[in-house]
């Protein structure tokens, strides 16, 4: 890769450049339900008024999604921020692979199908059942099931993870009914046995990330693989019963369930079967993939590992090669901001709590595990609390800030990047008061960063990876009026990300950079990489999205 070119106008500040990502903090369209606007945020308000500021696009094609109706998320957001360009992401790549039939002509798909035909065994699909298009899409599952039937698969089992996070909080039955109708239509066309076999909320089973709670994966293993757990006649019966027993529960938190006939699970995963994990996003797919593939697995008592053919929709970790078999190749992201800075000899720090640690490291570095240079990079993970986010909405923001303030003042780093998870993780709970507190906690911490950067003549960049806390009320899709819960008389919570832009502020307390807006229109968050390079005293690589500021 080419080397960075030093700027002739500005050689960088005396102190560090600090990139602060307020996860899930956007600029709301409506006053009602905008917890960012409702919160007391004097530091952010000051930045928006006194610093150089603008707004950036954080969803849709600006971050590599198929269309501008697709929300952004933390993974593709940090990809875009860290690599400085827009790459087509999982959803787009899979849509094209299905349309072109490359996915079905590939060696992995053929291997899994041939294995099932040869053993007269079952083809299993595990994944998030929704059209949120963040981790998965139900249309992808339907395409795979249709092709499986066409290629002679007689028995398929679907293990569904309920969303309520990237879609409406209690919309699970809409997707279950859609899938059941789809399977019924397939069965009418030929003599096949395709059924839902198990399920549970995505925050209860299977979809842990960053090794925060292997117990979730263990529970998913027992549910999907062993067919152990509470048994029901159908997914609808399970969801309706579990909702009655857990008043107020949203889909992501529903307990696991197993579908049974004559008291026996209909879909345990056994020797000779094939398994496809149909999520395309990596962070919450790695651990279950390791459970299926690792020969030396020790995270929980797995029991005898079934001898199956396993594949992911994509490869979720390109460095660790997890999983070893996958249907669609992930985007090839190279020449990230972190790698460029290492080549230029810039000492860096990346820090967040567990919930977003992988975002400021793995995703920021273009889906790459590990460091580019052990001597020039330090990564700090602050362990997240193992409690529901709404019960502790301040999360680990203060502890992160303690370490960042120390790092700013000790002069060891020229570039620091950090993520405050609060606005996103608490936003997903739908608990309005907790979300307000979460935003305020982040603002308190930004005030501390302002002082530290001012003291050291550094430069502070504050932005976000997508919106969430800025759009917390569910609205009618046509009229945009707020949907009211008939039982409580209060607005129904919206737990998914927003399509709103995010703020971007650059604070140069010493004034030596002579920072001003660059004048480029309709920039997305991928522009933050070039912005940080400008502020560090470098010109952007030619194919990087332009900086939001000019200097010197």
Q: Which one, of 48, 25, 100, lies nearest residue 471 by Cα? A: 25
How far from 266 is each of 124, 129, 155, 168, CA to CA, in Å?
Answer: 12, 19, 11, 29
Give yes or no: residues 259 and 355 share one domain: no
CA 112 to chain centre: 28
In this predicted model, what pLDDT tens digit does every residue of 131-150 receive, in sequence order?
A: 999 899 999 999 999 999 99
Do 358 and 285 share a structural domain? no
Structural domain for 306, as ranges: 91-328
Note whether 353 and 405 are same-domain residues: yes
**Active-site positions?**
74
In terms of domains, do 66 and 100 share one?
Answer: no
Task: Kindly state whether residue 385 falls inside one of the protein's structural domains.
Answer: yes
Q: What pLDDT, in 10s, does the model give residues 54-112?
A: 999 999 999 988 889 888 889 899 999 999 999 988 888 999 999 999 999 999 999 99
2 in a structural domain: no
- Asked whether 473 and 37 are in contact (CB, 8 A), the reply is no
The last residue of one of the domains, among 328, 343, 369, is: 328
Q: What pLDDT was estimated at residue 319? A: 67
Q: What's the domain count of the chain?
A: 2
Nearest alpha-carbon partner for 398 in 460, 456, 336, 445: 445
> Checking phi first, is residue 156 left (phi over 0); if not, alpha (psi -120 to 50) or beta?
beta
**Domain assignment present for 3:** no
Residues 337 and 245 in one domain: no
Same-domain pairing of 176 and 305 = yes
Would 7 be classed as within a structural domain?
no
Residue ending a domain, among 278, 294, 328, is 328
Q: Are residues 344 and 471 in the same domain?
A: yes
> Which one of 302, 328, 354 terminates a domain?
328
* pLDDT reported for residue 66: 83
Same structural domain, 282 and 310: yes
Within this chain, do residues 294 and 201 fall inside the same structural domain, yes or no?
A: yes
Q: Are 473 and 30 in contact (CB under 8 A)?
A: yes
Residue 505, domain CATH: 3.40.720.10
pLDDT in the model for residue 406: 98
Encode the chain (552 residues) as per-residue pLDDT tens digits. 899 999 999 999 999 999 999 999 999 999 999 999 999 999 999 999 999 999 999 999 999 888 898 888 898 999 999 999 999 888 889 999 999 999 999 999 999 999 999 999 999 999 999 999 989 999 999 999 999 999 999 999 999 999 999 999 999 999 999 999 999 999 987 889 999 999 999 999 999 988 889 999 999 999 999 999 999 999 999 999 999 999 999 999 999 999 999 999 999 999 999 999 999 988 899 999 999 999 999 999 999 999 999 999 999 887 678 999 999 988 889 999 999 999 999 999 999 999 999 999 999 999 888 999 999 999 999 999 999 999 999 999 999 999 999 999 999 999 999 999 999 999 999 999 999 999 999 999 999 999 999 999 999 999 999 999 999 999 998 899 999 999 889 999 999 899 999 999 999 999 999 999 999 999 999 999 999 999 999 999 999 999 999 999
63 phi, psi to nearest 5 deg: -125, 15
Write the CATH number for 106.
Answer: 3.40.1450.10
Instruction: Let me know if residue 11 belongs to a domain.
Output: no
């Amino acid at each position: 890769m080419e080397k960075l070119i030093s700027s002739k106008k500005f050689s960088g500040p005396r102190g560090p450049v600090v990139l602060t990502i307020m996860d899930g903090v956007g600029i709301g369209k409506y006053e009602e339900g905008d917890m960012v606007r409702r919160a007391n945020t004097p530091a952010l308000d000051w930045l928006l008024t006194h610093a150089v500021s603008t707004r950036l696009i954080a969803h849709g094609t600006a971050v590599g999604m198929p269309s501008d109706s697709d929300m952004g998320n933390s993974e593709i957001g940090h990809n875009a921020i860290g690599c400085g360009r827009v790459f087509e992401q999982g959803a787009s790549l899979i849509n094209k692979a299905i349309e072109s039939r490359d996915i079905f002509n590939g060696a992995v798909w053929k291997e899994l199908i041939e294995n099932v035909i040869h053993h007269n065994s079952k083809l299993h699909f595990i994944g998030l059942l929704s059209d949120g298009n963040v981790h998965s899409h139900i249309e992808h599952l339907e395409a795979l099931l249709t092709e499986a039937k066409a290629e002679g698969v007689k028995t398929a089992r679907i293990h569904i993870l309920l969303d309520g996070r990237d879609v409406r909080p209690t919309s699970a039955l809409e997707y279950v009914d859609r899938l059941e109708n789809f399977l019924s239509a397939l069965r009418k066309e030929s003599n096949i046995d395709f059924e839902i076999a198990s399920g549970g909320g995505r925050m209860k089973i299977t979809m842990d990330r960053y090794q925060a709670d292997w117990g979730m994966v263990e529970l998913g293993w027992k549910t999907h693989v062993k067919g152990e757990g509470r048994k029901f006649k159908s997914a609808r019966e399970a969801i309706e019963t579990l909702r009655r027993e857990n008043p107020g529960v949203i889909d992501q938190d529903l307990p696991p369930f197993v579908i049974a006939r004559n008291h026996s699970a209909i879909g345990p995963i056994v020797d000779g079967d094939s398994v496809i994990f149909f999520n395309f996003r990596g962070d919450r797919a790695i651990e279950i993939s390791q459970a299926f593939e690792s020969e030396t697995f020790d995270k929980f008592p797995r029991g005898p590992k079934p001898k199956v053919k396993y594949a992911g929709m994509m490869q979720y970790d390109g460095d660790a090669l997890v999983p070893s078999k996958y249907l669609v190749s992930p985007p090839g992201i190279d020449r990230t901001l972190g790698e460029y800075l290492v080549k230029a000899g810039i000492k860096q720090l990346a820090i967040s709590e567990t919930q977003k640690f992988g975002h400021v490291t793995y995703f920021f570095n273009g889906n790459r595990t590990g460091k580019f240079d052990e001597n020039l990079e330090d990564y700090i993970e602050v362990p997240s609390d193992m409690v529901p986010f709404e019960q502790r909405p301040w999360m680990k923001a203060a502890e992160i800030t303690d370490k960042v303030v120390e790092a700013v003042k000790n002069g060891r780093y020229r570039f620091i990047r950090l993520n405050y998870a609060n606005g996103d993780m608490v936003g997903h709970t739908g608990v309005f008061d907790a979300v307000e507190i979460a935003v305020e906690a982040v603002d308190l911490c930004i005030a501390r960063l302002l002082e530290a950067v001012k003291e050291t003549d550094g430069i502070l960049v504050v932005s976000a990876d997508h919106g969430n806390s800025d759009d917390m009320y569910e609205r009618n899709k046509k009229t945009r009026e707020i949907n009211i819960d008939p039982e409580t008389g209060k607005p129904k919570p919206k737990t998914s990300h927003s399509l709103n832009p995010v703020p971007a502020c650059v604070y140069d307390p010493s004034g030596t950079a002579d920072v001003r807006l660059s004048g480029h229109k309709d920039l997305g968050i991928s522009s933050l990489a070039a912005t940080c390079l400008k502020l560090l005293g470098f010109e952007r690589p030619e194919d990087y999205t332009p900086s939001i500021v000019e200097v010197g």
